[in-house]
Amino acid sequence: MKRLSTIYLSLALLCTSCTNSSSNNFDTVNLTSQEPIFDYLAAYKEQIGTVKKHTDLRIYQIMVESFQDGDPNRNYDVGYGPSSHKGDLRGVLNSLDYIKSLNMNAIWLTPIFESAPSDKDKSKLDATGYYTRNYYKIDRNFGDENTLKELVDKAHEKGIYVILDGVFGHFRDDLVNTSPKGNKISTTDKCIGSNNSFYPPVAHTLCTDFNDGGKSLEYFKELVEYYIETYKIDGFRLDQAYQIPVENLSILRKTIEDVSKKVEYTNYEGKSVHPLGYVVGEIWSDNPTIVSTGYGDNENIGLYSNFDFALRYGLVQTLATEEWGKQVHVARNIRDLMKYDEINFPSHAMPNFMITNHDLVRFGDLIQRAGLQDSYWQRIHLALSFLALVPSGPITNYYGEEIGQEVPDFDKKISVMDFYDDHVSRDNGKISGFTQQEEKTKDLFSYLMKIRSEHDSISNGKLLLLKANSDIFAVKKTHSNDSDFIYVMNISNENKLISISKDIADKKKYERLITKKEKILQASEDGYIQFILEPLSFDVIRNTD
């Protein structure tokens, strides 16, 4: 305790009601070293121009059929998961102000292309949108072409990009298979799985045969051009992107980027801008497979962005449990999964980090499955803080995670009222009528995203690892045009005295952005910044010199 400063003593007095708050039994954690992580990946290299716009994406994912009922005349009324299955495009349009209030700047819509051939033939599978019948029609159960155009225009007026879900590897077997220009998809009953092996398609569905001399590729090039030119769409999320050969992914990405540069719309500032041209792949597999089937290498680039499944699993293992039961409740587990990314991904990679999506179990249910209900809200807040403040590059939040949403009675990996792990998170969206705790969590989420939106150090900065032991995870985020930020997470049940050495906290004054106690931290005479971090909490400090 040799370096106890007056700031530490004052914090100790403020914390007398905390667990183990005696000044004699704080565990001191020294942050004294800096280890670069991801210092060569695109999102962490202080890029400019288009790449920088992509790194600042804060995407709000919407499962259209379950999110919000805006038009009672357009419903599936059937589907997988616990929602009422009445969601539609009007419901999304009515929610834009809510999404904007969260400081998100993009929405990703699950597939909205026509699926059901008629109103009497609607099925659960059709409601998902992931098996298209006609790529050039909007599903009548979600809305129509005019509603989509209105939605995109209103979103752009509010500074929100619109990203569509492109399911180009599989579809219904009664696909309307001729584009306006006469291109056709070559079909096959040998579908490619994430492990590069073949599997038979789901009943009444087929897959794309891209080994056809480029015919199918021409169809999808025309398709993405149509939606960008007609609706000013800002990009595509590619479902099961491994079903598209990586060389075709490259061509498709370049097509999206090139046509976006030729199209213009007026944004929320009244400026004429181009659609963003963002493409992100879903490859739910190990990192080497994500590289070989998605990123490609630095000489043969496929996609710039893919979802970061490995780091997602690292976070939920550390704070709760993963769907298959693995729990690693030590903070260094997050570091290990970050290093797993670092040693695998090529330098052009911009991983897109998320906690949940429509195929995963909600984080709240994973907390309960781990038997950690007593610390439910603290763990929700820790996960949301990591999402908002730690990774550079694009990030995605699944609807409802911002309020700690969970599905009642789904704490175990069992069927409950026909709910299963791969679709239980498809529950009704909520944009009002929050409980007090949900409101508090939403406000925290919005505040964290505001910090991210305003600071290049957070969205596009270099990341330095300061500590990753059993209890503490700490990083420093820096950018040449911004303040330094230090993020610290305490996953233990004990108070920790965080002591930051002068070589890390090289400024004399820092502001705490989360705590309500001792907002300003002044360096001691020997240059150390110190503060107490309570159990299962986090804070981020910013230099104010």
449 shares its domain with 479: no
**395 shares its domain with 310:** yes
pLDDT tens per residue across span 328-384: 999 999 999 999 999 999 999 999 999 999 999 999 999 999 999 999 999 999 999
Residue 1 located in a structural domain: no
* pLDDT beyond 80 at 8: no
Count up the domains in the chain and report the number: 2
Give residue 52's pLDDT.
76
Last residue of one domain, picked from the residues 460, 493, 528:
460
The CA distance from 144 to 77, in Å, is 18
Cβ-proximal residues to 95 (8 Å cutoff; 6+ apart), any chain: 67, 68, 429, 431
* Residues 453 and 498 placed together within one structural domain of the fold: no
Under 8 Å CB-to-CB from 470, ≥6 apart: which residues?
330, 331, 332, 492
Nearest to 221 by CA among 193, 189, 199, 253: 253
- Tell which of 460, 493, 508 closes a domain: 460
Calculate the average pLDDT of the chain.
Answer: 92
Q: Are residues 133 and 64 in the same domain?
A: yes
The reply to whether 80 and 198 lie within a common domain is yes
**Does residue 405 sit in the same domain as residue 516?**
no
Is the same domain home to 15 and 64? no
Tokens in use for 512?
A: 């705490």
> In this structure, are 409 and 472 located in the same domain?
no
Domain identity same for 351 and 484: no
Please tell me whether residue 387 adopts helix, strand or coil conformation: helix
133 falls within a domain: yes
Residue 6 pLDDT > 60: no
Mean pLDDT for the stretch of residues 41-69 = 87
Whether residue 172 sits in one domain with residue 223: yes
pLDDT band at 19 (very low <50, low <70, confident <90, very high): very low
Percentage of the chain with pLDDT > 70?
A: 94
Q: What is the pLDDT of residues 404-456, one digit of tens each?
A: 999 998 887 777 778 899 999 999 999 999 999 999 999 999 999 999 999 99
Q: Looking at the domain assignment, is residue 391 inside a domain?
A: yes
**Which CATH number do you get for residue 496?**
2.60.40.1180
Whichever domain contains 208, its CATH number is 3.20.20.80
Residue ending a domain, choose from 460, 490, 521? 460
- Let me know: does 169 contact 130? Beta carbons within 8 Å: no
Could you list the residue range(s) of the whole structural domain that residue 18 is in? 6-37+464-543
pLDDT of 10 strictly over 60 = no
pLDDT value of residue 14: 33
- Answer yes or no: is 446 within a domain: yes
The reported pLDDT for the residue numbered 516 is 75
Cβ atoms of residues 336 and 342 within 8 Å:
no
Cα distance between the two ends of the chain? 27
Question: How far, in Å, CA of 334 to CA of 92, rounded?
Answer: 34
pLDDT digits (tens, 9 = 90+) for 284-315: 999 999 999 999 998 899 999 999 999 999 99
280 and 378 together in one domain: yes
Residue 42 lies in a domain: no
Please report the pLDDT score of residue 523 as a whole number.
Answer: 84
Residue 371 and residue 486 in one domain = no
